[in-house]
A = this chain, B = another copy of it.
């Protein structure tokens, strides 16, 4: 099964109460790819500048991530600088330099067009739609977005959503998109606009999934310390789509499992800066933590 991701590749400088990382490998497409690569090969479409370190490329290639859609443009790579305080749910952006990402127009290589699992990371909704239209026979198109596009490109985003099967956003974004403070009502509204599944990320409070006929609440893994939440959402999406790409039937049961795999991958990602923890992660660690999620949320039925 082939997984395609289109999104940012970045050099991140991050400060948290536990330390800092300088110009570390980051970006939505990178976090997504690395997590998804535990399940199936990944095809990455993005752009880097001529200053992008080779070692990062080697790291990704070593994970069976196909970089033939990674354009190298003249100029500097996208850079993001942020700080997290003790409330690690909220990122404070200190500086954003879009650089070569500013004029990013994703070109899907011919060899990528048969991708079955497509993740449209957070980019301009019009570009997301163009990508969705270039894929010949997708099984699942999933999509992320952010408040910037909800506020600044609302109509385009609504157009893009018509092509999306699974929307993966955070709770504030879901409420803002639906213009509705009640999450249950917001979900019902969004499900009328295209996606058949809405996955709502709630940081340390876990994940909610809504479909027309089902609601699922997944816990977050109770970590003692979150060292760096950067990339948690895209790592979640990578684990989620990665697992989905391995199942025969995409249905309520396998989507629930995929959410727990996504949560599992994200819980590892936040244990270190950048991809620090991910680099040493093994499939057995993932399966062990999946089992811990099962214990974490388990309770026995009662006789009615």
Contact = CB atoms under 8 A, between A and B. Distances in A.
A301 B297 contact: no
Contact of A217 (B185, B206, B284): B206
B216 A257 contact: no
Q: How many copies does the complex hold?
A: 2
Interface residues of A, number: 42
A287 interface: yes
B299 A260 contact: yes
A202 interface: yes
A171 to B, nearest CB: 10
A288 B288 CA distance: 33
Given A217-B219, A225-B182, A298 B256 contact: yes
Which of A208, A217, A284 has the most chain B CB within a 10 Å cutoff? Answer: A217
A108 interface: no
22 contacts: A86-B181, A182-B224, A183-B204, A184-B222, A184-B223, A185-B224, A202-B205, A208-B222, A215-B296, A216-B296, A216-B297, A217-B297, A218-B297, A218-B299, A253-B300, A256-B298, A256-B300, A257-B299, A257-B300, A257-B302, A287-B302, A288-B304
The 8 closest A-B pairs by CB, nearest first: A217-B219, A205-B205, A256-B299, A86-B181, A184-B224, A287-B304, A297-B297, A184-B222
